[in-house]
Chain A
Amino acid sequence: MHTYLCSAALVAVLAAPAFAADFKFAVTTDPQTMDPHAVNSAPVLGFLNNVYEGLVRRGKDMSIEPSLAASWEPIGNGEGWRFNLRRGVTFHDGAEFNADDVIFSYERASHEAADVRSWFAPVSSVVKVDDFTVDIMTSAPNPIFPDSIANWMMMDSGWAEANGAARPDKESGNYATLNANGTGTFRITAREPDLRTVLEPFGGWWDTAEHNITRAELTPIQNSATAMSALISGDVDFINPVPIQDITRLQQNPDVNVIQGVEARVIMLGFDQQAGAAESGQGASDLFLDARAREAVAKAVNVPAILQTIMRGNAAVASQLVSPAMRGFSEAVTPYAHDPEGARALIEEAGIAGSTVNFKCPNNRYLNDESVCQAVTSMLAQVGLEPVLNAMPVQNYWPELRADNFDMYLLGWSPGTLDAEHPIRFLGSTPNGEKKLGSWNFGGYSNARVDELLPRIQSEIDDGKRQKMLDEVATIISDEVAYVPMYVQPLVWGARSNIALTQRPDNFFILRWVTVN
């Protein structure tokens, strides 16, 4: 007994200083750059939210809250927005944050070489009123503009210019690709791309720190079995994501917590709906020009069974292109019911029994994507179609879709603005290069009414009227079976049980909400 106590005390002493606030976390994809304007991807923006800050930021419940702007208000009748900047904020290198940095960051982020410049499409000009006031003018009234710039991060003009990084350079990289100088909670003390990135708290941060981390280290681990091993054996404190199938096993492990939530990403099936696609694309047919064929697929796919087995009860059925957590979610539509008999009848009616369906699927993009596609393949085969599944890595997948080599495909969509307008712009609009609309509408779905409603939704200030129009679009898309929404992808994080953290639906891992106990 005595020895037992002794050794227990010893363990406590040894463990306490070493692990108290040293935090190691692993993700699948390393953020490919430290430049907040160069690449518009979740791994980059999610990570850099710990280092850089925007005028506004999202809180634990995704609501917009003041950050580098202490307050903001609309100008006149929707000509733009005025932002009153926070005073006394410094960058990691000690430089003061002021209106010049906002102007500079606007020019940098809206530059042709910046990947995030589409955020500024509605902006006509940015005007410095005084050192701590900035007006952002929009070409049309834009009620959700502050929501759309939560990831627009402020960079110090002096630092960027001194280091030759005044413009983002994604292709050949520059100083800002490997180094960072934000105003955020943490500063980067070591950066080895694809190997490790080390963060330490920034002493001069303007806000009060909730975390107790003294050092955080990010390691990318691609193989999910390796990541699971690392978490279970305590080599890392946090992994994202946890493979769906391992949730139950992890929940039984007292050393580990599983944190689950619903992501903003909706997984859906898309169809080739362009006339003459059979001639343009390889192996594609005009099968899904007929709405009955699309409806048959909607009825044939047994989403609850997929969620029960492959997703192991960890995902929710989706009724539309956005999840219920998004702004502008429509209550007007419901999920398609599983009805194999109805599907068979529709297939008979449309005279497409036995037709080959060229079904494309990624196998490393979404959670269990290949398994889901296989299950969909069986379900279509059971109602009399002949699906040919072709699953491939994502680097081959997008070119294949762009080349129209499909009848049906799997797509996941997570709205960057967390608003129902976003998927309408990218997936619901008729593809139009000039207006930058429908750029992910691979199947070429087109409806004049949807195209007409979109600009009106974008500039409507009244929430009630806006929702009405969103409901109408959701109903049209659902009735015409433009897409078959299946489920909202779950968010599953794993952490050692001594870690307290907050999970946000956009899958951003915010270190300032982490405490190590």
Chain B
Amino acid sequence: MTDVTETPAPTRLRRILDSDLFYAFRTSPVALISALVTMFLILSAVFAPLIATTNPFDPASLNLMNGFTPPMEPNAFTGENFLLGTDDQGRDVFSTILYGMRISLFVGVTAVVFAMVLGIVLGLLAGYFGGWTDTIIMRAADVQLTFPSILVAMLIFGIAKGITPIEYRDQMAIWVLILAIGLSDWVQFARVVRGATMVEKGKDYVAAAHLIGRPSFAIMIRHILPNVLSPVLVIATISLALAIIAEATLSFLGIGAPPTQPSLGTLIRIGQQFLFSGEWWILFFPACTLLALALSVNLLGDWLRDALNPRLK
């Protein structure tokens, strides 16, 4: 995906359009639909301020008396109308979902990029040098796996709380989430990259590169890394869906985005309190959005895995 958007050179674009991968993409309805849905959701999140009818993150703009307005029905006190209704604070659910999705996607993408970079670097180091480097990194991975991401998040949250001034705490919550989710995800990347590196390292071309005096760093980046990119891409896509879900789960446990600037997960946590009281829209619409987002990203990752696996052709 990133290749498609980031390559300006026409020759490379041509190459991509002619590739097997793109052909497989064009001919798979699942891939096409999920890509479309993903793009649609990402774009609406990015342009949320232009699409949304209100700014739900501005407390001064909220009118509590608008609270619990059902979708497409005028509020009993104020007479105002909302497409998808309002929540307990009188926030427009439609606008809040758009803004919330922005936060969810930002957290998800940043966390995955963070995990990917960390995992690739550590995996390359572990696989290439072996020995003590490998032992330390892989045992660190064990420690990491031992801690459920929930606990990692609490740890980081606590430490961060101790060192940030109050004015920045709300923004900090987001970065804590990113760090927590990213830290619990890097192991997968590292393991794949390490395994592939160990295989590649034994091959003749690496030995040859060594002989002609290329530095280890260059060998890793220029020769080994490109060989592990496709599994990394697959893991990254699936991790993105996982990260978005993880953010929601952490919100349920009360360590997610602040309620004044809710993510999709926080919206679901708030909405589930109203499951029995009949205000279904507060839960239903955010949950559907989350499902659509995670499902389409998952389907895309799934398709990518099959398409990139040469043995399945």
Q: Do chains A and B make direct contact within the complex (CB under 8 angstroms)?
A: yes
Give the shortest distance, in Å, between B123 (CB) and chain A (any CB). Answer: 37
Chain A proximity of B150: nearest CB distance (Å): 14
Nearest neighbor of B87 in chain A, beta-carbon distance = A371
Of B35-43, B45-53, B186-194, B253-261, the one contacting chain A is B253-261
A381 contacts B276, C-beta separation under 8 Å:
no
Among A246, A306, A363, A381, point to the contact of B59 (Cβ < 8 A).
A381
CB pair B278–A249 under 8 Å, yes or no, is: yes
Chain A contacts for B167, CB-based, 8 A? 283, 356, 388
Q: Is B170 an interface residue (CB 8 A)?
A: yes
> Does A393 have its Cβ within 8 Å of any Cβ on chain B?
yes
Is the pair A393, B60 in contact by a Cβ cutoff of 8 Å? Answer: no
Chain B residue with the shortest CB-CB distance to A382: B60
- 4 new A-B contacts, CB < 8 A, other than A225-B276, A249-B276, are A243-B273, A243-B276, A381-B59, A388-B170
Pick out which of these stretches binds chain A: B2-10, B61-69, B137-145, B286-294: B61-69
Main secondary structure of the interface of A (DSSP, over half): helix
CA distance A223 to B68 in the complex (A): 22
Q: Give CA–CA (A371, B67) in the complex, Å.
A: 11
**Using an 8 Å CB-CB cutoff, how does the interface string of B259-296 with A read, 1 for contact, 0 for none?**
11000000000001111111100000000000000000
Q: How many angstroms between the C-alpha atoms of A388 and B68 in the bound complex?
A: 24
Residues of B52-83 at the interface with A, using a CB-CB cut-off of 8 Å, are 58-60, 62, 64-65, 67-68, 77
Q: Are the C-beta atoms of A225 and B273 separated by less than 8 Å?
A: yes
A374 B65 Cβ-Cβ under 8 A: no
Q: Are A225 and B59 in contact (CB under 8 A)?
A: no
Which chain A residues (353-381) contact chain B, with CB distance < 8 Å? 356, 358, 363-364, 370-371, 374-375, 377-381
Measured CA separation A243–B60 after assembly (Å): 27
**B169 lies within 8 A of chain A by Cβ:** yes
Chain A residue numbers with a CB within 8 Å of B302 are none
Task: Say whether B276 contacts A390, CB under 8 Å.
Answer: no
> Which 6 A-B pairs have CB atoms at the shortest separation, nearest pair first?
A283-B166, A381-B60, A309-B67, A381-B59, A245-B277, A378-B59
A312: shortest Cβ distance to chain B, in Å? 9
Contact A309 B277 (CB under 8 A): no
Q: Chain B's nearest CB lies how many Å from the CB of A278?
A: 12
Are B65 and A282 in contact (CB-based, < 8 A)?
no
Expressed in whole angstroms, the minimum distance between the Cβ of B53 and any Cβ of chain A is 17
A387 lies within 8 A of chain B by Cβ: yes
Assign chain B's interface to a size class. 20 to 34
B279 & A308 in contact (Cβ 8 Å cutoff): no
Name the residue among B165, B169, B276 with the largest chain A CB count within 10 angstroms. B276
Contact B272 A225 (CB under 8 A): yes
Closest partner residue, chain A, to B253 (CB atom): A393
* B231 → A minimal CB distance (Å): 39
Contact B165 A375 (CB under 8 A): no
Decide: A310 and B165 in contact? CB cutoff 8 A: no
Cα(A232)–Cα(B275), bound, Å: 13
Are B165 and A283 neighbours in the complex by a CB distance under 8 Å?
yes
Pick the contact of B88: A225, A309, A379, A380 (CB < 8 A).
Answer: A309
Give 19 pairs: A residue, B residue, CB < 8 Å, sorted on A. A245-B277, A246-B276, A248-B278, A249-B278, A282-B166, A309-B68, A310-B88, A363-B254, A371-B89, A374-B260, A375-B64, A378-B59, A378-B60, A381-B59, A381-B60, A388-B169, A388-B170, A389-B259, A391-B258
Complex Cα gap A283–B77 (Å): 38
CB B199 to nearest CB in A, in angstroms, measures: 48
Evaluate contact between A225 and B275: CB separation under 8 angstroms. Answer: yes
Which residues on B sit within 8 Å (CB–CB) of A382?
Answer: 59-60
Nearest Cβ in chain B — how far from A322, in angstroms?
26
B254–A309 touching, CB < 8 Å: no
B90 and A389 form a contact (CB under 8 A): no
- For the side of the interface on A, what is the size category? 35 or more
Alpha-carbon separation in the docked complex, A183 to B58 (Å): 58
Task: Give the residues in chain A near B58, CB-CB below 8 Å.
Answer: 381
With both chains docked as a complex, state the minimum distance between the C-beta of B69 and any C-beta of chain A, in angstroms. Answer: 10
Establish whether residues A245 and B279, one from each chain, have CB atoms under 8 Å apart when the complex forms: yes
Contacts of B169 in A (CB 8 A): 388, 390
Assess the A387–B274 pair: CB atoms within 8 A. no
In the complex, which residue of chain A has the Cβ closest to the Cβ of B62? A378
Name B189-221 residues within 8 Å CB distance of A. none
In the complex, what residues of B have CB within 8 A of residue A379's CB? 64
Complex CA distance for A330 and B33, rounded to whole angstroms: 68
Chain A residues near B273 (CB, 8 Å)?
A: 224-225, 243, 245
Residues in chain A near residue B260, CB distance under 8 A: 374, 377, 389
Q: Are A374 and B277 in contact (CB under 8 A)?
A: no
A305 within 8 A of B: yes
Chain A residues 376 to 410 lying within 8 A of chain B, measured CB to CB, are 377-382, 387-391, 393, 405
Closest to B166 in A: A283
Residue of B whose beta carbon sits closest to that of A379: B64
Q: What residues of chain A lie closer than 8 Å to B272, measured between beta carbons?
A: 225
Interface contact B166-A388, CB-CB below 8 Å: yes
C-alpha spacing A246/B274, complex, angstroms: 7
Expressed in whole angstroms, the minimum distance between the Cβ of A358 and any Cβ of chain B is 5
Q: Tell me, yes or no, whether A302 is within 8 Å of chain B by CB.
A: yes
CA distance A72 to B90 in the complex (A): 56
Closest to B165 in A: A283
Is the CB of A228 closer than 8 A to any CB of chain B?
yes
Cα separation A358 to B67 with both chains bound (whole Å): 25
Known: A364-B254, A370-B259, A377-B260. A309 touches B165 (CB 8 A): no
- Provide the residues of chain B in CB contact with A358, threshold 8 Å: 166
Contacts of B88 in A (CB 8 A): 245, 309-310, 371
> Binary interface profile of B, 225-262, with partner A (CB < 8 Å = 1, else 0)?
00000000000000000000000000000100011100
| CB closest residue in chain A, given B275 | A225
CB-defined contacts of A364 to chain B, threshold 8 Å: 254
Which interface residue of A243, A364, A375 has the most chain B CB atoms within 10 A?
A: A375
Contact A308 B65 (CB under 8 A): yes
Q: Is B59 a contact partner of A377 (Cβ separation < 8 A)?
A: yes
- Greatest chain A CB density within 10 A among B89, B166, B274 is at B166
Bound-complex Cα distance A302 to B64 (A) = 9
Complex CA gap A375/B66 in Å reads 12
Q: Report whether B170 and A378 are in contact in the complex, using a CB–CB cutoff of 8 Å.
A: no
How far apart sit A393 and B64, CA to CA, in the bound complex (Å)?
A: 24
B178 to chain A, nearest CB (A): 19
Bound-state CA distance A309–B272 (Å) is 17
- Of the listed residues A245, A282, A283, A379, the one surrounded by the most CB atoms of chain B closer than 10 A to its CB is A245
Q: Give chain A residues whose Cβ lies under 8 Å from the Cβ of B277.
A: 243, 245-246, 248-249
One digit per residue, 1 when the CB lies within 8 angstroms of any chain B CB and 0 when it does not, for chain A 336-363 equals 0000000000000000000010100001
Q: State whether A389 touches B258 (Cβ < 8 A).
A: yes
**CA distance in complex: A228, B273 (Å):** 11
A283 to B60 alpha-carbon distance, docked (Å)? 22
